[in-house]
A and B are shown apart, each in its own frame.
Chain A
Amino acid sequence: MNLTALWALVRKDLKLFLGDRRALILSLAAPIVIGAFFGFLFSGDGKKDTAKIPIALVDLDGSVLSRAVGAKLAEDKLLLVRPESEVQAREAVRKGRATAAVVLPKGFGDSAANAFFSSLGKPEVTVFYDPSHGMEMGLLRGLLTQAAMEVVSREMFTGDTGRTVVKRTLSGLDTSGVSSAEKAPLQDLLRSVDRWNAQQSAAPEKQRSGGLSLPYTLKEEPITAGSGIAYNGYAHSFGGMGVQFILFMGIDAGVALLVLRRSGTWQRLRAAPLGRRGILLARALSAAILATGILLVIFAAARLLFGVRILGSFAGFLGITVAFALMTATFGLLIAALGRTPEAARGLAIFGTLIMVMLGGAWIPSFVFPAWLQRATLLVPTRWAVDGLDAMTWRGLGFSAAVGPMAVLLGFAALFGILALWRFPFEDA
């Protein structure tokens, strides 16, 4: 192959790209700005105020227990609890002002206390919820359970209501419908609780037990590149946006070849003894060089502006960058080859890019996808690029973690390149 000709074509593409202010802005400024925006939204470093989940609380009971459950929910840092009437609460959820509404029914306090030991006559707590907030609903369910258990158990073991309920339950056991086999042990338990309550009442306030509580304390520790190294969400957002805009650039390079094909310049290129492989290879190389440069500049900006660091293997980071650059360059050629005209290729490019970017996890992390889709996205090269860049940046993994993504990306590059060479419409338009 004529390397002089090949390099001349590569140099020409680089000159044209770097001389095109619009292309530079689109390829560099846009991913930096959007990456910064997404990073700000999802950085998750714990330094910012997290948006609370708005909850409407309808207390139809007004008992000590129901008020205590409401207060417990309101204490939680994840919830923003607003007391409402039932009608207002339903309306707030319907209009999206509240994610859910918890309705504590009339008689909640008594029923919950009675049901604590016997599981009979449980009160029915209703939750109205916005179906578009499924994940928040799960969280609310857990927090409500925790609040109810703590409040009711504390009341049952130390409170006035608890003493009254225990005595009343003991006296009514014969007519309660509890089976004779369960009756004796339950009597023993309630008598013990009654004695316990008597002791607690006699003890100073500070020495009283607080009822049931979670059987553990929770220590939350983010696993990052190392102890003391905080997670920097900008690393993922800059990687994702870099991947997205480099894909745009790669496709643009492929479409530009189709535009060139309609001009006399294409005839002149083809008249030279360079060959079709040479023309495509030169375009792929120039696009890959540009893609590598753009990604490096994007991460340099992330480093300077937001302190994003390559906490893993720098060689691995470079390897993934170059492999992704080659993949995106050949993907652009493949889109051009399949589109065959600039107009058709642009339509195909929008579809292809959206699929690659969405399924690759550049916008939202792939772990939120259903399990089958997570498995399917392993066939999407951008998923490997995004995961690989994450591994080399904030996860701080070594070179061995880069080998898999690099191999997959290079495999895709080879596949796309072969298909492009096979399908590209070389003959004059």
Chain B
Amino acid sequence: MLELHNIRKSYGTQQAVKGISFAIRAGETLGLLGPNGAGKTTTVSMIAGLIAPDSGEVKLDGRSLGGDTDPLKARIGLVPQDLALFEDLSARDNLSLFGALYGLQGAALNGATAEALSFTGLTDRAKDKVKTFSGGMKRRLNLAAALLHDPDLIILDEPTVGVDPQSRNAIFEGLEALKARGKTLLYTTHYMEEAERLCDRIVIVDHGEVIADDTVAGLTRRLPLRNVLRLELENPPPGAWAEELAALPGIVSVRLEAAVLSVGLAELGPGSAAALGWLTTRGIAIAHAHTERADLETVFLALTGRTLRDA
């Protein structure tokens, strides 16, 4: 449905996007992952027709967007990263406006507005001004505004930034419902757990380039580790601990953040036994220990050497 062919975009001497290519099939949910400044929002802006790429092509069903009045844009629904609402208008007035921007009017506009309010659970607040809403409600309304014209491709640019867990869950339930209806979703985030929950496929970008494009399972299969052992230490390890620990059999990586030691394990049994034994023999007390399955965060760490939130 959507194809990106080697798109590039620079701002002055800064190359924001350095030749990104990927495709999304109809009905697929694709996660576009990367740290802040990786080029996600620039890529999304080029897909939505907000900015023109310096080179390369964005095609929707095989056709490039032909200017900012191209009716093809009506097949896209954009949920911007920043709240795109008029705070001094009511929820209904906001939705009526955004519906009208796509030519909806009369009964069709009223019906679409009512459905979008219902879909996001805001029907009973329809007449209230947006400035009286909680952050989570605003995020839900922000999503509703992109759905009025029933787009085929919905672009969600970090739609859960700054929302409470309850609202995040409500948004996710909505997105899963859209997915069930066969909508194509492009979801940008730097929350790995969100991408794992929602996406069929993941494209990871860093410094304006695609560094991985696969399913969640396919990405984790690439990892040299399967599990991560997290140990909360009561006293710090001595001297050149990192090199010694990493050299033990079954251990792939080690990392100490504050008092938490993260040990990447190729095999859970031998690796964890070796790590725990090494720490015990050196008199390092362990306050708490647990293991985690390797996830997309681990994938990003393995691919770039950095965590997503730190990057």
Contacts and interface: CB of A to CB of B under 8 A. Distances in A.
Contacts of A270: 49-50, 68
Nearest to B83: A264
A271 B78 contact: yes
A274 B68 CA distance: 7
Contact of A271 (B48, B81, B103, B105): B48
B65 to A, nearest CB: 10
A145 interface: no
Nearest to A426: B68
A264 B145 CA distance: 12
Given A12-B86, A15-B89, A275-B69, A5 B101 contact: yes
A264 B82 contact: yes
B73 interface: yes
B81 A272 contact: no
Interface in B95-118: 96-98, 100-105
B78 A268 contact: yes
B51 A428 contact: yes
Interface in A404-429: 427-428
A112 B89 CA distance: 82
A271 B155 CA distance: 11
Closest 9 pairs (CB-CB, A-B)? A264-B82, A8-B100, A264-B80, A264-B84, A272-B101, A275-B69, A268-B84, A271-B78, A273-B73
B49 A271 contact: yes
Contacts of B45: 267, 428
Nearest to B80: A264
A9 B96 CA distance: 10
Contact of A16 (B82, B88, B146): B88
A273 B71 contact: yes
Given A8-B97, A9-B97, A12-B86, A2 B103 contact: yes
Contact of B86 (A4, A16, A273): A16
B232 interface: no
Given A5-B100, A272-B102, 16 more contacts: A2-B101, A4-B104, A9-B101, A12-B89, A12-B93, A263-B84, A264-B81, A264-B83, A267-B45, A270-B68, A271-B48, A271-B76, A272-B98, A273-B71, A276-B68, A278-B69
A8 B104 CA distance: 10
A45 to B, nearest CB: 44
B85 interface: yes
A269 interface: yes
Interface residues of B, number: 37
Contact of A428 (B50, B72, B85): B50
Contacts of B100: 4-5, 7-8
A263 B89 contact: no
Given A427-B50, A427-B51, A273 B84 contact: no
Interface string A255-270: 0000000011111111
B88 A272 contact: no
Interface in A265-318: 265-276, 278
A264 B158 CA distance: 12
B50 A275 contact: no
A86 to B, nearest CB: 69
B257 interface: no
B128 to A, nearest CB: 14
Interface of B: 45, 48-51, 67-74, 76, 78, 80-86, 88-89, 93, 96-98, 100-105, 142, 145-146
Contact of A5 (B68, B93, B103): B103
Interface size grouping (class) on chain A:
20 to 34
Contacts of B89: 12, 15-16
Contacts of B73: 271-273
- Secondary structure at chain A's binding surface: helix, strand, loop or mixed? helix
Nearest to A262: B82
Contacts of A269: 101
Interface string A373-415: 0000000000000000000000000000000000000000000
A19 interface: yes
A37 B17 CA distance: 60
A63 to B, nearest CB: 79
Contacts of B145: 268
Nearest to A11: B97
11 contacts: A4-B100, A8-B97, A15-B93, A16-B89, A20-B88, A263-B83, A264-B84, A267-B45, A268-B84, A268-B146, A270-B50
Interface string A1-37: 1101101110110011001100000000000000000
Contacts of A11: 97
B50 A273 contact: no
Given A8-B100, A268-B80, A428-B50, A273 B74 contact: yes
B101 A267 contact: no
Interface string A345-360: 0000000000000000
Given A268-B78, A270-B50, A270-B68, A5 B102 contact: yes
Interface string A309-343: 00000000000000000000000000000000000
Interface string A42-85: 00000000000000000000000000000000000000000000
Nearest to A17: B88
A7 B85 CA distance: 18
A341 to B, nearest CB: 16
Contacts of A15: 89, 93
B181 to A, nearest CB: 21
B144 to A, nearest CB: 12
A268 B98 contact: yes
A23 to B, nearest CB: 11
A20 B101 CA distance: 23
A268 B73 CA distance: 11
Given A5-B102, A5-B103, A15-B93, A267 B71 contact: no
Contacts of A5: 100-103
A269 B68 CA distance: 11
Contacts of B101: 2, 5, 8-9, 269, 272, 274
Nearest to B81: A264
Nearest to A276: B68
Nearest to B104: A4
A4 B78 contact: no
Contacts of B88: 16, 19-20
Nearest to A8: B100
Contacts of B105: 4
A273 B68 contact: yes
